[in-house]
Amino acid sequence: MAQALAVKNPVDLVRTQLHDVEALLEEATESQIEAIQEAARYVLGAGGKRVRPQLVLLATLAAGGSLERALPLAAACELVHTATLVHDDIVDDSDSRRGRMAVQFHIGNSASVLMGDYLVIRSFRLVARDSSRELWNLMVDTISTMCEGEVLQIQVKRDTEVTVEVYEVIIECKTAILLRACARIGGLLGEAGPATVDALTEFGYGVGMAFQIQDDILDFIGDEETLGKPVGGDLREGKVTLPVIYALQDAAPEDREELLRIYGKASPLTSEEIRRATQIIEIAGGFDRAHDHAQSYITRAKRELERVAPGEARDALFTLANQIVDRRS
């Protein structure tokens, strides 16, 4: 796949359509209640990279489908993603820590719930523009699984004995399943047949798994400015992610004890504790092992592309996959 090098930026191939998606997002968040419209657009505008719309559009292109038809679905996937960010941010009264978005934009729990609901519902309005019931069901099943994944994540919070297997189920449900759906939608819109649909579906899944693992790595060692949020958020919330799981396996006994102590701490963590935990994970090779893990998903995902017709769109997907595991924000 030497020609993959030709595509500098996958976005270039669908730049016009990504503008159309933005217009659809504006339209979808129109409301007579000003507070809703304002908040919805604020949240949607908050630095989203539009990875999901890109994936829908490029997969559609790769499968030979209509980009016009893909637009509402691409926008719908972004709305669903945004809704999960909003709902993830609900502050539990047992847990006074703030989520990410709340830091910049605290509209209260009740309003956040309604905002998230609103975004999901609006995504369904976009999905209904398409007459394919297969697509409706795909979206419904995807979001349903995402909810289950989030509950599972709550259940294992602060459980430092969580295994790689359980971690994978969680990130599959909360992230990979939506990216899988994005790529599958593209496949279904095309005329290239079931093998292509299947290949794109698996590609989306692999890319989604790698995406979340990389996210979990960057949550510790990313650049705060590029990320737009302070590092250590998962640690503060007691989320035991892949770098931590690996570090707990491989760290020296005293480092392991210290990491466990930090995770077990009931009161809010200091910056020094977060810095120290990050250092322990680094020394134990947790980030490297997690990155290798992500890389293996990307390798598998790219291999799936061999079943897709060659061309610019396939090359762009190839590049997109590389970008996901190499990104720094």
Answer for which of 50, 52, 81, 87 binds its own copies (CB under 8 A) is 87
Answer for which of 9, 144, 249, 271 binds its own copies (CB under 8 A) is 144
Asked whether 231 and 100 are in contact (CB, 8 A), the reply is no
CB of 177 to its own copies, least distance (A): 13
- The rounded distance, in Å, linking the Cα atoms of 180 and 207 is 8
Stretch that binds its own copies, among 134-142, 211-219, 275-283, 288-296 (CB under 8 A): 134-142
Asked whether 183 and 59 are in contact (CB, 8 A), the reply is yes
Q: Which CA distances in Å does 85 have to 99, 114, 183, 243, 304? A: 9, 13, 21, 22, 29
Answer for which of 18, 36, 85, 166 binds its own copies (CB under 8 A) is 36
Which of 225, 220, 214 is closest to 271 using CA atoms? 220
Residues that contact its own copies, how many (by CB under 8 A): 43
Residue 98 has phi, psi (to 5 degrees) of -90, 140
- The rounded distance, in Å, linking the Cα atoms of 163 and 92 is 25
Asked whether 237 and 89 are in contact (CB, 8 A), the reply is no
Answer for which of 143, 185, 262, 274 binds its own copies (CB under 8 A) is 143
CB of 26 to its own copies, least distance (A): 16
Stretch 103-122: interaction string toward its own copies, x if CB under 8 A: -----xxxx-xx-xxx-xxx
Q: Which CA distances in Å does 127 have to 50, 85, 195, 260, 298? A: 17, 20, 24, 45, 29
CB of 238 to its own copies, least distance (A): 12
Stretch 47-86: interaction string toward its own copies, x if CB under 8 A: ----------------------------------------
Stretch that binds its own copies, among 5-13, 149-157, 216-224, 270-278 (CB under 8 A): 149-157
Stretch 168-207: interaction string toward its own copies, x if CB under 8 A: ----------------------------------------
Asked whether 301 and 202 are in contact (CB, 8 A), the reply is yes
Which of 212, 186, 161 is closest to 69 using CA atoms? 186
Comparison of 18 and 114: residue with beta carbon closer to its own copies: 114
CB of 35 to its own copies, least distance (A): 6
* AA identity, residue 28: A
Q: Does residue 309 belong to the site contacting its own copies (CB under 8 A)?
A: no
Residues in the chain: 329
CB of 267 to its own copies, least distance (A): 18
- The rounded distance, in Å, linking the Cα atoms of 211 and 266 is 30
Chain positions contacting its own copies, by CB under 8 A: 31-33, 35-36, 87, 90-96, 108-111, 113-114, 116-118, 120-122, 124-125, 128, 131, 133, 136-137, 140-141, 143-144, 147-148, 150-152, 154-155
